[in-house]
Structure 1
Amino acid sequence: MTGNRVLTFQGPMKLEIKTIDYPKLEDPRGRKIEHGVIIKLVSTNICGSDQHIYHGRFEVPQGMVMGHENTGEVVEVGRDVERIEKGDLVSVPFNVSCGRCRNCKERHTDACENSYVNDLVNCGAYGFNLGGWQGGQADYMLVPYADWNLLKFPDRDQAMEKILDLTLLSDILPTGYHGCIEAGVRTGSTVYIAGAGPVGRCAAASARLLGASCIIVADRLRERLDLVKKCGYETVDTTSATPVPDQIEAILGEREVDAGVDCVGLEAHGYGEEDRDEHSEAVINVLFDIVRAGGAMGIPGIYTNLDPGAPKTDMAKKGELPLAFSKAWIKSPKLTGGQAPVMHYNRDLMMAILWDRMPYLREVANTEVISLEDAPAAYKTFSDGSPKKFVIDPHNMLKKAA
């Protein structure tokens, strides 16, 4: 192997395909790691979280390889790897975790104590400037702690038949599911999901799998709302002059829901016709308003401690949000934020897919397969509000499978 095509960040709204060296079994410090593998990317998706990087809202170094939603075929195995073999088809959780520290042993793989290389963060993720791990929007990538991190698909042929569903296991499906779990979604729950992007749509599918009754998805973009409506969910238009609680009441007969999920994060916008400017705190404050007393909120949407591209105020640029917490406190809410611990859920969700318990997942995900060369243009299309979920096919393996 002599080269590796990769999609690199060169600055806000600027991505370039470059060819770099084929990856080595080395960590970001350059230390040899025999517990790792090299995978050939079968699919690697463009995520809404990638958009925060693309917009210059989440700081990353110039030249970083993008991509944290990765599925691949193992092509090289370190000496200490025992359970993963060449040829295995695997899903790669976007969290980099060691399986050895206290947090990993307690299934908090989103906060691994050994996956980062400095004291600025306490977690690792591919293509995210979290631990220095390069992303997988590429031909090949390194995965450390392979026996621990990788989810092996039990049957390769069966997996390739469902690969456009299984490719969602690396992030957005477990993330949407995690948001629902932390919000307490269960049989009969009424649920408000902020954001009809791919994560929000996976959260809606997860709420359906968990047995929720009324599932309401909110967004400001008509194409996305039309898509989720077509898939059988209720919708709220956040640009409408009608306040969100009034729209919920028109659907549900009451102004509150049991559970709320934030699938937007920073770059959220204000509500109604009079305030469509960006207010990153907008979603959380609406959840404080519309989740019932004693209810819960899952906040898997990304918020960063530094937001250099934030508009308006120094407070926003520091990632500090003016939350209406005093308004919410009286309701005794539960709120859980942060990354989803993908390994907590991915095997169960894989089995649900393989046994057709999520038959409409591909419809609501609305995937479109593209080449690696088409990825920069797809980032722009996604940024403009496309309802598509773009899945990159570096080696034409998805096209061959189809």
Structure 2
Amino acid sequence: MAPDAPMTVTVVGIGADGWAGLTDGARRELQSATTIHGAQRHLEYLPGEVTADRRPWPSPLLPALDDLSDGVHVLASGDPMFYGVGATLSRRRPDLELRVLPHLSSFALACARLGWPAEEVVVVSAVARDPAPVVRAVRAGRRVIVLSESGSTPAQLADLLDDAGPSPTMTVLEQLGGPREKVRTYRRSLRVDDLNVIAIDPVAPGVSDGEFEFEHDGQITKPDIRALTVAALRPSSGWIWDFGAGSGSVGISWALAGGGSVAAVERRTDRAERVARNAARAGVPLELVVGDTAELTAEMPVPDAIFIGGGLTENLAAACVGVLPPGGRLVANTVTVEGQSLVALLRNRFGGELRSYAVSDLAALGAGTAWQPRRPIVQWAYVKESS
């Protein structure tokens, strides 16, 4: 017996130019439809000659996608597979056979209006997503197109970038491709249409991750030891847990180096707030836990790496070793004799490597200079083996 044929759903992209902007093929497709689902503003573009039953999306949307039946049509914004309902359907309904007729995306139209080579531009969606990648891209000197959630998104981004430090040029592009299209330099007094994208052009060269200046109260790993620690933690695009975060310098530096995210645990509220400010300025996604490092939080994302900069105990180390996936890395730094004894015990119990770092700085001494030693740092570095 032949297997059942998959259900087919046809997704048609439409722009702010409405019915007139569609290809002949897209118009014929919609004229032959019996049921068309879509946002109310998209359905209003359809002329009377389209006799299909028009069904506006309910809120929430996702359950309605689960209930789509065979042969229906979906009207979507621009290119449905570019951060659109077509991409959502592809992920959520693998049982469907999707037929997609794309229109121009807002990204393509924005690059065309600005004369920006598309392959050189970073795209970030601010629709129900963390905007941190915008800051990271701007700090790296990249042009960015931000897909807005509403007319308030430009002001929110302006505040974010003000806090982050860079002063890029922001352009708001509204109703792209339609008769009410506007392309304007952003200023605080603008009233912005909900249908907009934002173009951000850095006005200065990118700032390398190593030049990022952390706000701190003295509780910070010095740059040279920080670099050695981050190297031992092997940056990736995953998550790092940063216990006793202080200023968050190690976790944030790790995330900047590999494109990752930070789950920071800091018991002092003032320092936790400082970690949040540093992460926002760096453009690093952050989950912050204000509490004792001895209390592992079950809701924290699975880590690729763990750094213990404060609050090291045998119980905390054992819990971290248990949580790490195979190949995950754990690094703990200590300067006290008691801490050094503890990491020696941990190495004997779990394995890993112990390293001692002794650094001296040139300092004035009378009429000359001399090397002034710092307190030695002992580091325990552990890599979890596959079971």
* TM-score normalized by the length of structure 2: 0.30
Larger radius of gyration: 2
* TM-score normalized by the length of structure 1: 0.29
Which structure shows the bigger proportion of residues in strand conformation? 2
